[in-house]
C-alpha cells in the first residue's frame, strides 16, 4: 500500500510542501532549546553571579535588537534569504562546538578563621558550592587521615589589645599581632603563611556551615597554642591536601570585576555570536513559514508546534544525559547540550536545502507603507503589547531554572540536587508537550472565536497567574504542573503575534514587519534581563516573581481598558488573507500610497 492510499483511506490531509519547514522547526529548536534552557545554570557553574549573567544577556539583546530588523531588510532588498538562513544555521552548530571549551573564571578558595577559646575554620553556607550543602561530600573520605592546609589570611585588626604574656607564654593572637605589625602587604610576604593540621572526624556541620576544629597551627615554622586572649575573625585563602575540603571551600561566584578576565571575554564573544545567529535564524524562519502557508497564516501554529516538539523532546533527553554524565562528579557535565546541537545542525542543513523559499519581490512604495503603519494607534498598541509579552516571557526563560535550584538549595534535598537537570528538562518538556503544542493547534480556532485583542489580554492574565504560582510552592517539582500554563501565556501569544503581523503587513514587507517585531522583542528581552537580574539578586526569587506577576496583571487590566475604549483594533479579516494597507485603513481615511 502506498502512503497516499493510506492517507486517503483515513481521510488524512497532508501537505508535503510543508514537511521541510516542520522538520526545520524541529531540528532548530531541538538544537537551541537546551542551550537557552540551561544557559543560566551553565553561567552559574562557570562562576558568574545572577547580576553578571543578567547584564550580559542585556547586551545580547542589544545585539539582537540591531540584527533582527537588519536581517528582514536585507532579505527583502537583496533576495538572499536561503543563503543567509543556511549560513546562520551552520554557524550555530560551529559555535556550539566552541562553547564546550569556554573556561571557568578563577574562583577563590577561602575559609573564615575564628579564634576565641580555640581556633576553628568555618566554611560558610553562603560561600560554598550549591551541590556541597550536605555532609555527603565527605562520606567517602577517611575520617582519621591527617590533613595539612596552608592559609594566607587578610590583615585583620583585633580589638584594642596589646601584646600580653601570661607566665611568659604567648598565644595565637600575640603572634598574629606581632606578624601583621611588620607586614605591609600580607599577600606578598611569606611570613603570613599559616600551616594547620586537622582531621575530618573533628568536623561538624552547624546550620549548613562546616566547622573544622584544628589539631595544630604553625606560623613561620613555630607551633602556636590554639587559643586567643582577644577575639580574632578573618578571611583566609586555603590550600589543602584534601580535595573534598577544597571543593567545599570554593566560592561559587567571582567577586571581582569580570571585565578584567579573559575567560569572561571568551564567554561573551561566543555567547554573542551564537545569540546573533539564533535571532537571525528565528527572524527568517517565521516569514519563510508564512510564505509557504500563502493565504492560510492561521495554520502557522500547526507548523510552529514542531519547534515545541523538538524543544521538549531534546530538553528532557539532554537534561537526563547531563545528570547521567554527572554521576559522581562535583559539577554538572553540560557537553551533551552542545554535542546534540552539532548533530541536529547537520541534519537541519539537509532540510534547508529542500525548503522551497519564496524570495521577496521588489515593491514600489513599500517603505512608505511600513512607515504608515506607525501612524496607527492600534499598531502602536500592538507593539506595546508585544514588548510586555516578551518582557515577562524573558523573566521566566532566564530566571526560572535559577529559582528552581534555589528552591532545592533551601530544601537541602540531596536527591533532588542530583537530578535537578532531569527535573528542569521535564519542566521544559511539559512547557512544550502539555502547553505549547495543544495551543499551537488550537490557536487558530481561539483567535477566530475571541479575536486577536481579547487573546492579547488573556496571554498577559495567564502569565500573571503562572508567575504568582511560582511563589507559593516549596517543592520545585510543582513547577512541572505550573508549566502547563505556558500554552496560553506563550504559544497563544506567539500565534496572535504572527497572525496579526501577517494581516497588517504591506505587500512584500512581511520579513521587514516581523524583523521590527523581533526588534521590539529584543528591547523587552534586554529590559527583562537587566531588571530581572537586579531584583533576583537583591530580593530573591519569591518576591521578584511576585512583583512581575502583579505587573503582568496590571498590564492585562490596561489591555482590557484599551480594548474597551477603542485604542486597539480587531483586524476582522477572518480568512487571514493579507490585504493591502489601503484596504486596512479605509476606516481611518488615511491612505498610505
Question: pLDDT by residue (tens digit) across 163-203?
Answer: 444 444 455 666 665 555 544 444 444 445 788 999 888 88
Residue 162 pLDDT? 45
Residue 298 pLDDT? 65
**pLDDT band of 367, cuts 50, 70, 90:** low
| Threshold 0.85, pTM exceeds | no
**Which of the residue ranges 129-138, 390-399, 425-434 would you say has the lowest mean pLDDT?**
129-138
List, for residues 16-53, the tens digit of each pLDDT value.
788 899 999 999 999 999 998 889 889 988 988 888 88
Residue 338 pLDDT? 93
List, for residues 66-83, the tens digit of each pLDDT value.
887 788 778 777 778 888
Q: Report how far Cα 337 is from the mean position of its chain's Cα atoms.
A: 14
Of the two residues 534 and 504, the one the predictor is more confident about is 534
Residue 187 pLDDT? 45
Identify whether the C-beta of residue 385 lies closer than 8 Å to the C-beta of residue 106: no
Q: How many CB atoms lie within 10 A of CB 181?
A: 10
> What integer is the mean pLDDT of 57-73?
81
As a whole number of angstroms, the distance between CA 279 and CA 395 comes to: 18
As a whole number of angstroms, the distance between CA 373 and CA 61 comes to: 24
Q: Is 581 a residue whose pLDDT tops 70?
A: no
List, for residues 216-244, the tens digit of each pLDDT value.
888 777 788 777 767 778 888 888 888 88
Residue 186 pLDDT? 43
Residue 297 pLDDT? 67
**pLDDT band of 369, cuts 50, 70, 90:** low
Residue 157 pLDDT? 54
Identify whether the C-beta of residue 442 lies closer than 8 Å to the C-beta of residue 494: no
Q: What is the mean pLDDT of the chain?
A: 79
Residue 236 pLDDT? 84
Closest of 25, 67, 24 to residue 525, by C-alpha:
67
Identify whether the C-beta of residue 344 lies closer than 8 Å to the C-beta of residue 78: no
CA angle 394-415-308, nearest 5°? Answer: 35
Closest of 523, 524, 502, 522 to residue 513, by C-alpha:
502
**What's the N-to-C CA distance of the chain in angstroms?**
55
Amino acid at each position: 500500500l502506498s502512503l497516499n492510499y493510506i492517507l486517503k483511506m483515513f481521510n488524512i490531509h497532508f501537505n508535503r510542501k510543508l514537511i521541510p519547514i516542520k522538520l526545520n522547526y524541529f531540528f532548530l529548536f531541538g538544537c537551541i532549546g537546551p542551550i537557552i534552557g540551561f544557559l543560566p545554570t551553565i553561567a552559574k557553574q562557570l562562576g558568574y553571579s545572577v547580576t553578571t549573567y543578567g547584564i550580559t544577556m542585556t547586551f545580547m539583546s542589544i545585539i539582537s535588537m540591531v540584527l533582527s530588523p537588519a536581517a528582514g531588510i536585507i532579505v527583502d532588498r537583496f533576495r538572499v534569504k536561503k543563503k543567509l538562513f543556511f549560513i546562520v544555521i551552520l554557524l550555530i552548530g560551529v559555535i556550539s562546538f566552541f562553547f564546550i571549551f569556554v573556561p571557568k573564571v578563577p574562583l577563590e578558595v577561602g575559609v573564615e578563621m575564628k579564634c576565641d577559646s580555640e581556633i576553628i575554620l568555618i566554611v560558610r553556607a553562603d560561600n560554598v558550592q550549591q551541590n556541597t550543602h550536605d555532609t555527603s561530600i565527605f562520606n567517602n573520605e577517611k575520617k582519621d587521615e591527617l590533613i595539612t592546609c596552608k592559609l594566607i589570611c587578610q590583615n585583620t585588626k583585633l580589638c584594642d589589645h596589646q601584646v600580653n604574656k601570661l607566665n611568659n607564654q604567648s598565644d595565637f593572637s600575640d603572634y598574629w599581632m606581632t606578624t601583621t605589625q611588620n607586614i605591609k602587604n600580607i599577600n606578598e610576604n611569606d611570613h603570613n603563611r599559616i600551616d594547620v593540621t586537622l582531621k575530618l572526624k573533628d568536623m561538624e556541620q552547624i546550620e549548613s556551615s562546616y566547622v573544622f576544629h584544628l589539631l595544630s597551627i604553625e606560623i613561620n615554622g613555630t607551633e602556636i597554642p590554639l587559643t586567643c586572649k582577644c577575639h580574632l575573625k578573618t578571611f583566609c585563602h586555603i590550600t589543602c591536601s584534601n580535595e573534598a575540603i577544597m571543593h567545599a571551600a570554593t566560592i561559587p561566584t567571582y567577586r571581582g570585576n569580570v571585565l578584567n578576565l579573559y575567560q569572561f571575554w571568551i564567554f561573551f564573544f561566543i555567547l554573542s555570536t551564537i545569540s546573533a545567529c539564533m535571532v537571525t535564524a528565528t527572524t527568517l524562519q517565521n516569514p519563510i513559514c508564512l510564505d509557504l502557508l500563502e493565504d492560510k497564516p492561521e495554520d502557522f501554529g500547526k507548523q510552529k508546534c514542531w519547534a515545541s516538539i523538538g524543544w521538549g523532546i531534546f530538553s528532557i533527553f539532554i537534561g537526563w544525559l547531563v545528570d547521567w554524565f554527572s554521576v559522581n562528579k562535583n559539577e554538572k557535565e553540560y557537553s551533551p547540550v552542545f554535542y546534540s546541537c552539532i548533530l541536529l545542525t547537520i541534519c537541519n542543513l539537509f532540510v534547508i536545502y529542500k525548503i522551497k523559499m519564496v524570495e521577496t519581490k521588489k515593491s514600489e512604495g513599500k517603505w512608505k507603507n511600513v512607515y504608515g503603519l506607525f501612524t496607527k494607534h492600534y499598531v502602536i498598541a500592538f507593539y506595546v503589547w508585544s514588548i510586555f509579552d516578551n518582557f515577562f516571557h524573558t523573566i521566566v526563560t532566564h530566571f526560572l531554572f535559577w529559582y528552581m535550584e534555589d528552591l532545592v538549595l533551601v530544601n537541602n534535598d540531596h536527591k533532588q540536587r542530583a537530578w535537578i537537570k532531569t527535573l528542569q528538562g521535564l519542566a521544559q518538556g511539559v512547557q512544550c508537550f502539555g502547553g505549547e503544542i495543544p495551543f499551537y493547534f488550537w490557536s487558530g480556532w481561539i483567535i477566530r472565536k475571541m479575536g486577536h485583542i481579547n487573546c492579547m489580554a488573556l496571554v498577559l492574565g495567564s502569565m500573571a497567574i503562572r508567575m504568582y504560582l511560582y511563589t507559593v510552592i516549596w517543592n520545585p517539582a510543582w513547577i512541572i504542573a505550573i508549566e502547563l500554563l505556558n500554552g496560553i501565556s506563550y504559544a497563544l501569544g506567539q500565534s496572535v503575534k504572527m497572525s496579526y503581523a501577517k494581516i497588517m503587513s504591506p505587500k512584500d514587507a512581511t520579513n521587514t514587519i516581523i524583523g521590527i517585531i523581533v526588534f521590539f522583542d529584543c528591547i523587552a528581552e534586554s529590559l527583562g534581563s537587566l531588571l530581572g537580574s537586579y531584583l533576583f539578586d537583591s530580593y530573591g526569587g519569591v518576591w521578584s516573581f511576585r512583583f512581575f506577576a502583579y505587573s503582568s496583571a496590571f498590564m492585562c487590566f490596561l489591555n482590557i481598558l484599551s480594548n474597551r475604549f477603542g485604542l486597539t483594533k480587531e483586524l476582522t479579516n477572518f480568512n487571514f488573507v493579507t490585504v493591502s494597507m489601503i484596504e486596512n485603513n479605509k476606516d481611518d481615511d488615511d491612505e498610505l500610497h
